[in-house]
Amino acid sequence: MNYLQMAFNNILQTFCEYFTMIRKLQDFGNYLKPNYVLQNVYRQPPLTYESYYAVLTWHLTRVKRRIIKIETNFMKQDTCNSFLTLLKDIKKHLETIKILYEIHQAVTSDWKVYPNYKCASRLLSCLYFEMENSNNKEKANISTSLYLSSLRVYLNITDTWLNEGRLEDWRDEFIISRFSRRRITRWLDDEFLDDLNNWKVEHTTTTRSPDLQCFK
C-alpha cells in the first residue's frame, strides 16, 4: 500500500465510523417493535421512547438533506472544488451526527431488559442533564428538543390524571403506578402501612377514583 492509498484509507475510515453511528441510530426504530413474551403476549416499548425517536429521526433527516445538498452542489462543478473542500463542508454535519449518537448512547436503556418506567425516567433525567450541563450550544439545543418531545408523554398522563382522575399509563412507563386496594394489601405488610400513616402521606387517592396511586 503506497502513501496515497494510506491517506485515503485513513480519511475514509473516519467516514465509516459515522456511517456506523447513523446505522445504529436508525436501527433503534426497529428495536422499538413489540417484544414477544409469551404466546399471543407482546410487551411494548415506552411511548416516551417513540416520541424521542420521532425527533431523533427528524434531526437525522435534516442532516441527510444538508449533506445531499452539498453533494449536489459539488457535482455541478460551478466552483473549483476539491476533496479537501468537500470534507470541510460536511465536517459540521458529521459533528451533528456524532452529537446525536453520543446523546443516544447516554440516555437510552434496553427496554426489553429493564421496566418501562425505569427506561423512561432515565431517558428524561439524562436528557435534562445533557441540556443543563452541556457546554456545546448545538448539543444543548438538540438535547432540549429531544427532552421536550419525550416529556410530552408524561405531561399528557399527568394532565389526564389531575383533570379527569384517571391514570392512563398503558405501557407502565410513568413514575407512579396504579394499584387496587385489594392488590396493595397483598404485598404491603401491617408494619409498612403503619409507617405510611406515621408519615402522614396525604392525597394518595383521588376523589374521582377508588384506586390508590403509589410510587413505584
* Range ranked top by mean pLDDT from 7-16, 39-48, 131-140, 164-173: 131-140
- pLDDT at residue 91 greater than cutoff 50: yes
What average pLDDT does the segment 18-36 reach? 86
Buried b (16+ CB within 10 A) or exposed e, 2-36: eeeeeeeeeeeeeeeebeebeeebeeeeebbeeee
Q: Residue 16: its pLDDT value, please?
A: 81
Q: How confident is the model at residue 193 (pLDDT cuts 50, 70, 90)?
A: low
Residue percentage of the chain with pLDDT more than 90: 41
Which has the minimum average pLDDT: 27-36, 118-127, 149-158, 186-195?
186-195
Q: How many residues does the chain have?
A: 216
Q: Look at residue 188 and give its three-state secondary structure.
A: coil
Q: With beta carbons less than 8 A apart as the criterion, state whether 51 and 149 touch.
A: yes
Instruction: Give the residue with greater pLDDT, 22 vs 177.
Output: 22
Decide: pTM greater than 0.85: no
Which has the minimum average pLDDT: 12-21, 33-42, 53-62?
33-42
Q: How confident is the model at residue 212 (pLDDT cuts 50, 70, 90)?
A: very low
Residue with cell 403506578: 177
Q: Residue 202: its pLDDT value, please?
A: 46
Instruction: Give the residue with greater pLDDT, 165 vs 14.
Output: 165
What average pLDDT does the segment 53-73 reach? 90
